[in-house]
Structure 1
Amino acid sequence: MNMSRKMTTGVVSLLSVAALGAGATTAGAAPAHPQAKSPSSAAASCSDWNRAVAVPWKWQTLKDGCGHFGRPGLRMGYSWAVFKGTKVCVKAKGFVNGKKKWYDLGCRKSGSFTVPWGNVLAEKEIQVKGTATFNWR
């Protein structure tokens, strides 16, 4: 098969971008997504802190990758702490009668809140906006 140089360069560039997007790094480079835990260790470290970056003017949703079993009356805890940058605005996912509901936790450098969870099995999720690098769980 005879491929042109332009096409070959495009394919190599596309594969490189795909590899970086999947989390592959070159020697000495920082990971594209600074997560405190890797997907392979998610099951063993569901109570660990997750590292994330908040960007201004746009809400982004982050998941912890762990299934949390609920029970009637359970309240799920969320915490975050900025370690570089300004405050971060946070909304946390909770449940009312089995239906997802977002709770506004405010804009701060750190915080710790509980939200209604109930009798569901779901991942913890937060929505964030700001200019900060922070840890959350």
Structure 2
Amino acid sequence: FDPFLLLDHFGSDNPKDYLPGFPWHPHRGIETVTYLLAGKVAHGDSMGKKGIIGPGDAQWMTAGSGIIHQEMPEPGADGKLMEGFQLWVNLPAALKMTEPRYRAVEAGEIPRFKQDGCELAILAGEFDAGTFIKQKTGGA
């Protein structure tokens, strides 16, 4: 399924399941895109970037030539629920050594398409003749 490496739906209403989080760990040659439905995640990385995302927000991290980062969850408004998705995407060979990047994308920046009682949050690409969020690999 290359370039898609992993799609993880995470969630729990028991803080003991997620509060340990994901302490400092490395990635290389991939991008991760995280989208939160509930709770918060605090990001920190070896480039000195920091950010907190909440419900409806996303974070887009290009590991490229290598990055060390942590993702530390916080409970949602109800004090319990944490839920979201994370997608890992393999970078093409020519971009595997690109400069690492991190971007937090607030819910208000994410275009949404609503129809027939459904809502689609569009994180990348084109839809219905509109161009949406683009992560430029290799630049700041």
**Greater radius of gyration (CA):** 1
Instruction: Tell me the TM-score normalised to structure 2 length.
Output: 0.37
Name whichever structure is richer in helix by fraction. Answer: 1
Instruction: Tell me the TM-score normalised to structure 1 length.
Output: 0.38
